[in-house]
Chain A
Amino acid sequence: MSSTTDMSTDTGSVLEKTRDDRSADDVVLRLEDLVVEFPAGAGQVVHAVSGINLEVRRGETLGLVGESGCGKSTTGRAIMQLPRPTGGSVHFDGRDLAALSPEEVRKLRPKLQMIFQDPISSLNPRRRIPDIVGDPLVVWGRGADKDKVVPDVLRAVGLDPDQVADRRPHQFSGGQCQRVSIARALVLEPEVLICDEPVSALDVSVQAQILNLLEDMKARYGLTLVFIAHDLGVVRNISDRVAVMYLGRICELGPTEALFDAPVHPYTRLLVSSIPSMEGAQRGEVGTGEMPSPVSPPSGCRFRTRCPLATDRCADEVPQMREVAPGRFTACHHPVLDTAVGEPIAPAVTAVPTTPLTASNGAGSNGAASSRTES
Chain B
Amino acid sequence: MTRPTDTAPTTVAAEAAGRHRAANAAGDARPAKGDLLTVDDVHVRFHTRNGVVHAVEGVSLTLREGEVLAVVGESGSGKTVFTRRVMGLISGSRETDVEGTVTFDGITLSDLDAKGLAGVWGKEIALVLQDPMTSLNPVKRIGAQITETLVLHHKLSKQDANARAVELLRSVGLSEPERRVRQYPHELSGGMRQRVTIAIALSCSPRLLLADEPTTALDVTVQAQILDLLGDLQSRLGMAMLLVTHDLRVVRSRSDRIAVMYAGRIVETAPTKDLFDAPRMPYTEALMNAVPPITGPNHVRLAVIPGRPPNLLSPPSGCRFSPRCPYAQDRCLTEEPPLRPASELPGGGIEGHSYRCWYPVGTPENAEARRRNVERGETAAGTPVTGEMVPA
Contacts and interface: CB of A to CB of B under 8 A. Distances in A.
Interface of A: 8, 67-68, 173, 175-176, 203-209, 211-212, 215, 230-234, 236-240, 256-257, 260-261, 270-282, 286-288, 290-291, 363-366, 370-371, 373-375
* Majority secondary structure of chain A interface residues (helix, strand, loop or mixed): helix
Interface of B: 4-5, 20, 22-23, 74-75, 173-176, 189, 191-192, 219-225, 227-228, 246-250, 252-253, 276, 286-288, 290-295, 297-306, 308-309, 324, 388
A278 B291 contact: yes
16 contacts: A67-B220, A67-B222, A205-B287, A205-B309, A212-B302, A231-B292, A233-B291, A237-B300, A240-B298, A261-B295, A273-B224, A276-B250, A278-B294, A280-B252, A286-B228, A366-B5
A208 B290 contact: yes
Contact of B221 (A67, A175, A237, A375): A67
Contact of A286 (B224, B290, B294, B305): B224
Contacts of B191: 290
A180 to B, nearest CB: 14
A192 B70 CA distance: 41
A275 B248 contact: no
A370 B293 contact: no
Contacts, number: 163
B298 A173 contact: no
B74 A237 contact: no
A221 to B, nearest CB: 17
B264 to A, nearest CB: 15
Chain B residues touching A, majority SS: loop
Given A8-B298, A233-B291, A280-B22, A371 B175 contact: yes
Given A370-B175, A375-B176, A203 B309 contact: yes
B298 A274 contact: no
Given A212-B304, A236-B298, A281 B22 contact: yes
B287 A204 contact: yes
B302 A237 contact: yes
Nearest to A69: B219
Given A278-B249, A370-B173, A237 B293 contact: yes
A360 to B, nearest CB: 12
Given A288-B225, A290-B222, A279 B189 contact: no
A176 B309 CA distance: 13
Given A206-B308, A260-B294, A274-B223, A375 B302 contact: no
Given A278-B293, A366-B4, 12 more contacts: A204-B247, A205-B74, A205-B287, A205-B308, A206-B305, A209-B306, A212-B302, A237-B293, A237-B298, A286-B228, A365-B4, A371-B175
Contact of A282 (B5, B176, B224, B301): B224
A144 B135 CA distance: 52
